[in-house]
């Protein structure tokens, strides 16, 4: 339950606020609050270069299950947010040169790349999915969070096509709607109302699953 001045209990020993971070200058102290919340099993909503998204430490199954319940997702139906492409091999099969070069051109940016997952991913997410979505947002707040966390976040957009658009862009409305269900809102100001472009690179040919904010001229 939300408390006064935007305070909400995160855990029995940890109280989180609605943290305001600025892309131009991410405050280290407030950033650490976000990281502590994630490491303690919290679910956050945070800004990206597209819409706001739910986030959780990818190694915390209880937090991932909470996102599944909030979004009514099946296990494994989410992307992971990375700081850069340096640890891709921890989660994916070896990429064709063409795909890796395209990702290097496009990222950071508003794209989700669906790639063949390695044997580690089904164990992590307790699912039989053989692919994984990879995001490196062009948003300094999102990338600072995963860099400080030390590993990727599991992520799923707040965007719901049945919702009023403002719920995905206005932090006040996001807080009003989800404040009782999440452990922390990272307020990065107004977000975008367009989702990422999704490209499936797991087969022989690259398939456009969803045309979103990312330009298709990278293909």
Residue 205 near residue 114 (C-beta atoms within 8 A): no
pLDDT tens, residue by residue, 26-38: 999 999 999 999 9
Angle value at C-alpha 149, between 147 and 151, nearest 5 degrees: 75
User: Any idea how long the chain is?
Assistant: 219
CATH class as words, domain 4-218 = alpha beta
Long-range CB pairs of 85-93, under 8 A, 24+ apart, other chains included: 85/136, 87/152, 88/115, 88/134, 89/118, 90/118, 90/120, 91/117, 91/118, 91/120, 91/121, 91/132, 91/134, 91/152, 92/116, 92/117, 92/118, 92/132, 92/134, 93/117, 93/118
pLDDT for the residue numbered 166: 59
Judge residue 104's burial from the number of C-beta atoms within 10 Å of its C-beta, 0-12 exposed, 13-18 middle, 19 or more buried: exposed
pLDDT tens, residue by residue, 158-172: 866 555 565 678 999
- Adjacent-strand bridge partners of 155: 55, 79
Between CA 172 and CA 45 the distance in angstroms is 12
pLDDT tens, residue by residue, 57-116: 999 999 999 998 888 766 557 899 999 999 999 999 999 999 999 999 999 999 999 999
């Amino acid at each position: 339950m939300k408390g006064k001045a935007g305070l909400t209990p995160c855990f029995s020993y940890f109280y989180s606020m609605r943290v305001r971070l600025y892309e131009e200058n991410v405050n280290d102290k407030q950033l650490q609050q976000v990281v502590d919340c994630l490491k303690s099993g919290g679910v956050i909503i945070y800004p990206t270069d597209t819409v706001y998204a739910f986030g959780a430490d990818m190694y915390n199954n209880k937090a991932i299950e909470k996102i599944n319940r909030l979004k009514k997702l099946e296990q494994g139906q989410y992307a992971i947010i990375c700081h850069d492409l340096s640890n891709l091999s921890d989660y994916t099969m070896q990429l064709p040169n063409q795909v890796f070069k395209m990702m290097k051109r496009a990222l950071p940016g508003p794209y989700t790349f669906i790639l063949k997952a390695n044997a580690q991913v089904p164990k992590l997410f307790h699912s039989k999915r053989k692919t994984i979505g990879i995001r490196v947002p062009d948003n300094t707040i999102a990338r600072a969070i995963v860099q400080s966390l030390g590993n990727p976040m599991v992520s799923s957009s707040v965007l719901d096509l049945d919702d009023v658009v403002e719920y995905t862009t206005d932090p006040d409305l996001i807080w009003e709607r989800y404040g009782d269900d999440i452990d922390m809102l990272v307020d990065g100001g107004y977000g975008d109302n367009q989702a990422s472009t999704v490209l499936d690179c797991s087969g022989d040919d690259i398939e456009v699953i969803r045309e979103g904010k990312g330009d298709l001229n990278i293909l």
